[in-house]
Amino acid sequence: MKKIIHLFFLLLFIIPQITYATPQNSLRVHFIDVGQGDSILIETPDNQAILIDGGVPKAGSKIVRYLKEQQIEEIDLMVATHPDYDHIGGLIAVLEHLPVRKVLENGEVHLTKTFAKYRFYLFKEKIPVQIAQANDSITLAEEVELKVLHAAEEDAENRNQSAIALKLTYEKIDFLFMSDVEAEQEEAIAEKYDVDAEVLKVAHHGSNSSSTLKFLREVSPEVSIITYSASNDYGHPVGRVINNLQKVDSQIFSTAGYGNVVVETNGEQYIVLPEMQPMERLMKRIKNKE
């Protein structure tokens, strides 16, 4: 078991937004609280910025603000895992406000205004687009690799089944980003690849479509992140997923309960930095409704 360091903050104090620059030889992964959706920022040791998804359109301004607070001036790689509203919506604002060097997507077309606007900005800014293929490998920095474990499938029954799943490796520490893939894709991924990872971004916001116990045992995550809104209408996350994560002894953090969650690693050890504790988050939510 690798050494895990967790910071537990006193509920009496408000946790400030984390804004310090990435320390030398450190990689940081930010699970940004965009409500019901996904948005993940990766900062490499040599200060490259990779943005995976952007939540719904109204989350765009928050993501842009968050990126600026992290002193991000350019996105080296933007990943649109699939064209659902709660994954590409906020990317539009990022494309409007920050230069993006390259985009990785699954190549699927979705006939919505949100998707049309997203593609319009790619065309307008002449941003190169790479279509992800399973087993593609992207070297982000020395000892930092981003590997495509799953991409679009011809026989997929829905867009979730064609979402891009990724594994990020920095020396001895691994992150698994499962987007919205379903149980069938999880099983296929585990058969083809080494999915063992210290940190797991739980598939499809903890819905009943994914996160089988068999798959989670293959991953054996020490930390699991679930991205969802506390006020969602989908019942996310479902009890079965929470029970399965508990059965594999994974510590669970959610953007609904902890706000933005940052995981920082030097490649040997890692630290989990939640923006706030659940009770503080609840009190803040109640205050905002007053």
- Structure tokens belonging to residue 68: 């600026």
Cα gap 267→181, rounded to integer Å:
27
Interval 115-134: pLDDT, tens: 999 999 999 999 999 999 99
Q: For the chain, which residues score pLDDT lower than 70?
A: 1-24, 281, 285-290
Q: Where are the domains of the chain?
A: 27-289
Q: What is the CATH number of domain 27-289?
A: 3.60.15.10
Q: What is the pLDDT of residue 23?
A: 58
DSSP 129-171: EEE--TT-EEEEETTEEEEEEE---TT-SSSGGG--EEEEEET
- Structure tokens belonging to residue 157: 């029954």
Asked whether 223 and 253 are in contact (CB, 8 A), the reply is: yes
For residue 218, give the 3-state DSSP assignment: helix
Q: What is the pLDDT of residue 46?
A: 92
Q: What is the pLDDT of residue 235?
A: 80
Interval 193-220: pLDDT, tens: 999 999 999 999 999 999 999 999 999 9
Q: What is the pLDDT of residue 18?
A: 36
pTM of this prediction?
0.89
Q: Which of 215, 194, 219, 198 is nearest to 264 (CA)?
A: 198
For residue 263, give the 3-state DSSP assignment: strand
Q: What pairs with residue 103 in β-bridges?
A: 78, 129
Cα gap 147→159, rounded to integer Å:
20
259 DSSP assignment: S
